[in-house]
Amino acid sequence: MASSKTATVGRRAAELREQLDYHLYRYHVLDEPEISDADYDRLYDELVALEDAHPELITRDSPTQRVGAPPSDKFQKVEHPTPMGSLEKVTTDEALEKWHEDVCKRLGTSEGIVYVTEPKIDGLSINLIYENGAFVRGATRGDGVRGEDVTPNLRTIKAISMRVIGADDGVPSLLEVRGEVYLPLSGFNALNERLVAEGKKPTPNPRNAAAGSLRQKDSTITAQRPLSIWIHGLGVRDGLRVDGHWEALNWLREHGFRTNPYAERHETVASVAQACHAWEKKRIELDYEIDGLVIKVDSFDHQRRLGALHGRPRWARAFKWAPMTAQTKLERIHIRVGRTGALNPWAQLAPVEVGGVTVSTATLHNEEDINRKDIREGDEVIVQRAGDVIPQVVGPVLPHAKGTRAFKMPANCPLCGVEIVKPEGEAMHRCPNRACPSRGLESLINWVQAAADIEGVGEQSVRRLWDLGLVRSLPELYRLTKEQLMEVEGYGEISASNAIASIDASKQVPFHRVLFGLNIPDVGWVTAQNLARHFENIDRLIDAAQEDIEEVDGIGPDRAESIAEWFSDDANRALVGELRELGLRFEIGDELRPVEGPLTGKIYVITGTLENYSRDEAAAALEAKGAKVGNSVSGKTTGLVVGEEPGSSKLTKARKLEVPLLDEAALEELLRG
DNA sequence: TAGCCTCGAGTTCA
DNA sequence: CTCGAGGCTA
């Protein structure tokens, strides 16, 4: 008895759902309601009552369940006239090719299929409604069926047209226009600078910043954010005669909508694949983030015949690249003490794929930076590899896990136990102990890999030699014997004698490299060269007064003082004497003579990877012609040599300063001419 | 004295 | 590559 009643109720519920869906469709999709709103509400209320009494009858797609997300009192939920579907993604050429084959099979032809690609903007999908040519409402995508009405905020975005231009040539009475709201990177950076200046926490990425800006309750705040939009499609468009997506984009553009200029038309799938790869590299040139390309079958007739599966159109795909950001757990914050005694905190991360490589460590710079970003051990954090290669921890995915606490530098050096100091106004904490093992070890590593660049002895070997107590100083490295080296893990008869030979050969490195390798504070590559050029030998330098040192290019009172102080230390003087006796070079050769050539006075900067030269080779070739090669683009830069996968910051700066760009062919031309 | 420029230092992964 | 900071210049 009871069961048959339940069955009746179940049938009625299903009937109501079907009717409600049908009337919603009549109303929203076709704009031709068959019943009044009051009648609709009566049906709806009946279903709600049934579902309240029999919760087991509630289905996920019930019209009553469309308010899925937690209710917000800020924004009204609105239903989209046509649902905003999501795109199935592909990540490989093979998957793309497979999709193409499916398209051909379903259309029964491989002829005449045209694709359109557009950058896939990492922003917020928005649906805009125009009635009789006037903007009346805009909503976020939400769950695809209902979104949040953010009309007042959208009105503040100047890139959104408030009316359809050229309405006289037959604009549909109801027009649904889809687009992606985003925050340009320049605006994102400016916003974060402002937030930091106001003592607030910066936003982790442009997408979050855009979302936050658009969901401001107070639209005057939204108005201050430089949001923009790319329009990429049509929803409802009754009576509009366009036959394909490409034509639709053109129509939109002509009627006042901001469509992306990098939309491309492709006659073959191979051409589509090519675009997907080309844009993966070109994307950093854009002032907004894209995470792939959207690919659509152009013809609306084809689109209709292909249809959709589970709300995902068969006629479109998102080609997505490996993400440049990822979320992972920050397991521990470690401290490393550098060759100058600076304490460097670094993050040990749960390994995670970012931009195609597995990242497990990242530098955290200093205490201040960690706390400004509010990063804690145990947090879930966002890791990013942006235009550059080096991963950074952007910030925590709030809230903090239980039991975490703000990061604090240790009071004592983790290696030697001496009390840590932090000079007023400086960012870095330091271990002041000159005899701290970290300094000796790190400076030896710096010697073998940078200053002298000894082949066959790398960081690992130096660490092992140090641990075994065989080499604890530079002179000890030069007194190392083959027999001793063979005790070290990883060395055999041959590799040991080769390594000894390279150590011996490294005694010939030029004076300026020796100076660099001594680890004098404030003396890097350039200053070492300038010192060598100015004083010519160690005898003049070692006893030079601070005022004499100030004469050198790029050295002012601060640096001169620290250099003079270093040379007045007995231990350092002894080290110099010992190295000299061992046969290292302490006077200038002819390697620093300036080269006169056709490019004298010109300054070039190189970015990206060149095909026929390494960066060092290209730099050497330019220098051989008299040019200087710098590291950063400035107003004085003659030209920026751009290879494959260039760094974004140099490129951006060069554009801004109108520094000429040279490709590899132009470089070769320059070197010949 | 401000703002540009250059330098030093530490940096990841395969 | 990016940051911070010292040096240089207008």
Pick the closest to residue A177 from A133, A211, A214 (CA basis): A133
Contact A220, A214 (CB under 8 A): no
- Mean pLDDT, rounded, for A41-59: 82
pLDDT at A503: 92
pLDDT at A659 over 60: yes
Contact A183, A210 (CB under 8 A): yes
> How far is residue A120's CA from residue A466's CA, in Å, rounded to a whole number?
52
pLDDT at A65: 56
- Give exposure, A208-233, as e/b (b: 16+ Cβ within 10 Å): ebbbebbbbeeeeebbebbbbbbbbb
The burial of A535, by beta-carbon neighbours within 10 Å (0-12 exposed, 13-18 middle, 19 or more buried), is given as: buried
Residue A650 contacts strand C, CB under 7 A: yes
* CA-to-C1' span, A636 to B6 (A): 11
Nucleotide nearest to A553 (CA to C1'): C7
What is the DSSP track for A377-444? Answer: TT-EEEEE--SSSS-EEEEE-SSPPTT-------SB-TTT-PBPB--TT-S--B---TT-HHHHHHHH
pLDDT at A123 over 90: no
pLDDT at A232: 94
Contact A431, A411 (CB under 8 A): no
Pick the closest to residue A409 from A350, A364, A359 (CA basis): A364
Q: Does residue A204 have a cis peptide bond before it, meaning omega lies within 30 degrees of 0?
A: no
Nucleotide nearest to A526 (CA to C1'): B7
Percent of chain A whose predicted confidence (pLDDT) is above 90: 21
Residue A36 contacts strand C, CB under 7 A: no
pLDDT at A29: 36
pLDDT at A62 over 90: no
- Mean pLDDT, rounded, for A194-207: 72
Nucleotide nearest to A523 (CA to C1'): B8
Residue A553 contacts strand C, CB under 7 A: yes
Stretch among A142-146, A177-181, A500-504, A642-646 having the lowest mean pLDDT: A642-646
Percent of chain A whose predicted confidence (pLDDT) is above 70: 91
Q: Kindly indicate the confidence band of residue A30, based on its pLDDT and cuts at 50, 70 and 90.
A: very low
- Mean pLDDT, rounded, for A641-650: 73
- Mean pLDDT, rounded, for A284-300: 87
> How far is residue A31's CA from residue A24's CA, in Å, rounded to a whole number?
9
Pick the closest to residue A118 from A240, A281, A294, A286 (CA basis): A294
Mean pLDDT of chain A: 83
For residue range A203-219, list pLDDT tens digits in order. 767 887 888 888 877 77
pLDDT at A477: 93
- Mean pLDDT, rounded, for A182-205: 76
pLDDT at A336: 85
* Residues by Cβ under 7 A, strand B: A 336, 338-340, 342, 344, 346, 357-363, 389-391, 442, 521-528, 554, 603, 630-632, 634-636
Which residue lies nearest C4, CA-to-C1' measured? Answer: A427
Q: Output the CA–CA distances (angstroms, integers) from residue A538 to A82, A431, A505, A534, A584, in the order listed.
A: 80, 28, 21, 11, 11
Q: Is the dihedral of CA A339, A344, A348, A349 positive or negative?
A: negative
- Mean pLDDT, rounded, for A554-560: 87
Nucleotides of C under 7 A from a protein CB: 1-8
* CA-to-C1' span, A436 to B2 (A): 40
> How far is residue A558's CA from residue A569's CA, in Å, rounded to a whole number?
17
Residues in chain A: 673
- Please measure the distance between the N-terminal and C-terminal CA atoms of chain A and give it in whole angstroms: 99
Contact A388, A608 (CB under 8 A): no
Nucleotide nearest to A387 (CA to C1'): C1
Stretch among A15-19, A202-206, A345-349, A413-417 having the lowest mean pLDDT: A202-206
- Mean pLDDT, rounded, for A339-366: 84
* CA-to-C1' span, A17 to C5 (A): 69
- Mean pLDDT, rounded, for A411-417: 86
Residue A19 contacts strand C, CB under 7 A: no
Phi and psi torsions of A639, nearest 5°: -165, 155
Residue A526 has a CB neighbour count (10 Å cut-off) of 13
Stretch among A79-88, A111-120, A596-605, A640-649 having the lowest mean pLDDT: A640-649
pLDDT at A578: 95
pLDDT at A67: 35
Domains of chain A (ranges, CATH numbers): 2-65 (1.10.287.610), 89-320 (3.30.470.30), 325-406 (2.40.50.140), 437-508 (1.10.150.20), 511-591 (1.10.150.20), 594-672 (3.40.50.10190)
- Mean pLDDT, rounded, for A45-74: 65
pLDDT at A204: 67
pLDDT at A327: 84
Q: Which of A282-291, A392-401, A415-424, A545-554 has the highest mean pLDDT?
A: A545-554
Tokens of A621: 């070739």
> How far is residue A206's CA from residue A182's CA, in Å, rounded to a whole number?
7
Nucleotide nearest to A388 (CA to C1'): C1
* CA-to-C1' span, A414 to C6 (A): 30
pLDDT at A357 over 80: no
pLDDT at A298: 95
Residue A450 contacts strand C, CB under 7 A: no
Nucleotide nearest to A358 (CA to C1'): B13
What is the DSSP track for A555-573? Answer: --HHHHHHHHHHHH-HHHH
pLDDT at A72: 41
- What's the DSSP call for residue A163? B
**Long-range contact set of residues A536-542: C-beta below 8 Å, sequence gap at least 24:** A536/A587, A536/A588, A537/A511, A537/A586, A537/A587, A537/A588, A538/A511, A538/A576, A538/A580, A538/A586, A538/A587, A541/A567, A542/A567, A542/A573, A542/A576
Residues of A with a catalytic annotation lie at 120
* CA-to-C1' span, A635 to B5 (A): 9
* CA-to-C1' span, A553 to C8 (A): 10
- Which residue's structure tokens are 């129509």? A251
* CA-to-C1' span, A552 to C7 (A): 11
∠ CA(A282), CA(A284), CA(A392), 5° rounding? 140
Q: Is the dihedral of CA A10, A13, A17, A19 positive or negative?
A: positive
Nucleotide nearest to A562 (CA to C1'): C6
Pick the closest to residue A131 from A164, A160, A174, A81 (CA basis): A174
* CA-to-C1' span, A322 to B12 (A): 17
Residues with Cβ within 8 Å of A327's Cβ and at least 6 positions away in sequence, in order, are: A352, A380, A381, A382, A383, A397
Kindly state the greatest CA–CA separation across chain A: 110
Q: Which of A229-233, A374-378, A617-621 has the highest mean pLDDT?
A: A229-233
Residue A425 contacts strand C, CB under 7 A: yes
pLDDT at A579 over 90: yes
- Mean pLDDT, rounded, for A373-385: 83
For residue range A228-278, list pLDDT tens digits in order. 899 999 988 887 889 999 999 999 888 878 889 899 999 999 999 999 988
- Which residue's structure tokens are 């070492």? A528
For residue range A466-523, list pLDDT tens digits in order. 888 899 999 999 999 999 999 888 888 888 999 999 999 999 999 999 999 998 888 8
pLDDT at A139: 92
Nucleotides of B under 7 A from a protein CB: 4-14
Q: Output the CA–CA distances (angstroms, integers) from residue A241 to A115, A307, A313, in the order listed.
A: 20, 20, 21
- What's the DSSP call for residue A280? H
SS (HEC) of A104-120 = HHHHCCCCCCCEEEEEE
Residue A384 contacts strand C, CB under 7 A: no
Residue A390 contacts strand C, CB under 7 A: yes
Q: pLDDT: is A167 or A298 the higher one?
A: A298
* CA-to-C1' span, A522 to C6 (A): 10
Q: Output the CA–CA distances (angstroms, integers) from residue A543 to A122, A520, A565, in the order listed.
A: 60, 15, 10
Pick the closest to residue A486 from A475, A502, A498, A476 (CA basis): A498
For residue range A316-325, list pLDDT tens digits in order. 998 888 767 7
Pick the closest to residue A115 from A362, A382, A378, A297 (CA basis): A297
